[in-house]
Amino acid sequence: MGSLQAHQDNMRKKYCILIAGPTAVGKTAVAIQVAGHFNTSVISADSRQCFKELNTGVAKPSAEELQQVKHYFVSTHSVEEEVSAAAFEQYALDAVKEIFYEKDIAVVTGGTGLYIKAFCEGMDNMPDIPQEIRNSIRGEYSLKGLAWLQEQVGKNDPQYFSSGEIQNPQRLMRALEVVQATGQSILSFQQGEKKKRDFTVIKTGIELPKDLLHRNINYRVDEMIKQGLLSEARSLLPYRNLNALQTVGYKELFDYFDGRFSLEEAVELIKKNTRQYAKRQVTWFRKDREINWFSPGRVNEIISFVQSHVQ
């Protein structure tokens, strides 16, 4: 009994620094500086950076950045694998346990709200879905595509639709299945009891004024094109129907290859869709009152804030 108590007391002195925020706000640079200060590792909470085949279009940390600080959940999976929030939860808990063998602090950073929620609070029990509902929705989606799916979820589960995950067909189909089977929003099943973690999460977020964030997004997209996003997207054409590729930055270029848009139109669409995604991310994170917000240039303030919470 004594050794168990000692283990629990020891784990109470372990801390995860969460650095959340929208795309292109500067999370990666901040996370690397914070992890460097505390001599620890970073766990990426990004649902796309985990795929080996996606590089330029998902703004992965550079080779130099990956050398500075060890990163988990970057280039760990193939696009042919299904990766879910539940899978991330287990991966991240295993990673944090590994980090805590040697360190008292770990850093978790990313913009995938559902992954962060799963890590901090655990996943909820979902209702069983009749197979005929599942088959019907998947059949309709394969015929009518993402726009139909977005429209259906927007109409039937507007609460979920506003959560930001509307470019991901797997999650949209799941939301539609639940509302059709139960008459309730999928979010009503995601408000169960939070799982207790045996470490403390210190939640911080990175924010910028909207005009600066939009400028960052537009600049980043232009840089991605210069760095070869076009050839990367072309090499991924065989995988275009996989869930991993239902992603801003790739979908628009696939449409360009199909002749639906000019390259200039596709690039503008990437910028527009990325700005909309960032807005949904901000809305999601703002709902979490435990997040303390900082600008990306105030890393010393973040470090001081963390130190004031670490016993």
Per residue in 32-71, pLDDT tens?
A: 999 999 999 999 999 999 999 999 999 999 999 999 999 9
- For residue 51, the cross-strand partners are 77
Single out the residue of 90, 98, 74 nearest to residue 122, CA to CA: 90
Tell me if 18 sits within 8 A of 286, measured CB to CB. no
Give the Cβ contact number of residue 142 at 10 Å: 10
Cβ-proximal residues to 175 (8 Å cutoff; 6+ apart), any chain: 153, 157, 160, 161, 185, 186
Higher-confidence position of 261 and 127: 261
3-state secondary structure of 51: strand
**Residue 241: its pLDDT value, please?**
86
pTM above 0.85, yes or no: no
Instruction: Tell me what percent of the residues of the chain surpass a pLDDT of 90.
Output: 75
CA–CA distance, 289 with 38 (Å, rounded to integer): 25
Residue 294 has pLDDT above 70, yes or no: yes
Per-residue model confidence as pLDDT tens digits over 184-228:
888 887 766 788 999 999 999 999 999 999 999 999 999 999 999
Single-letter code of the amino acid located at 8 = Q
- What pLDDT does residue 254 have? 97
Give yes or no for a contact between 37 and 303, defined as CB atoms under 8 angstroms apart. Answer: yes
- C-alpha–C-alpha distance, residues 186 and 157, integer Å: 8
In tens, the pLDDT along 262-284 reads 999 999 999 999 999 999 999 99
Q: Are 283 and 111 in contact (CB under 8 A)?
A: no
Q: CA-to-CA distance for 95 and 257, rounded, in angstroms? A: 39
Q: What is the pLDDT of residue 101?
A: 96
The pLDDT score that the predictor gives to residue 162 is: 81
Give the pLDDT band (50/70/90) at residue 171.
confident
Residue 7 has pLDDT above 80, yes or no: no
Residue 4 confidence (pLDDT): 59
- Supply the pLDDT for residue 164: 60
| 5 pLDDT above the threshold of 70 | no
More confident: 148 or 138: 148
What is the DSSP code string of 83-96?
Answer: --HHHHHHHHHHHH
- Compute the half-sphere exposure of residue 131: CA atoms within 13 Å on the CB side of its CA: 0
Q: 71 has which bridge partners?
A: 42
Q: Is 292 helix (H, G, I), strand (E, B) or coil?
A: strand
Percent of the chain with pLDDT over 70: 94
- pLDDT at position 117: 92
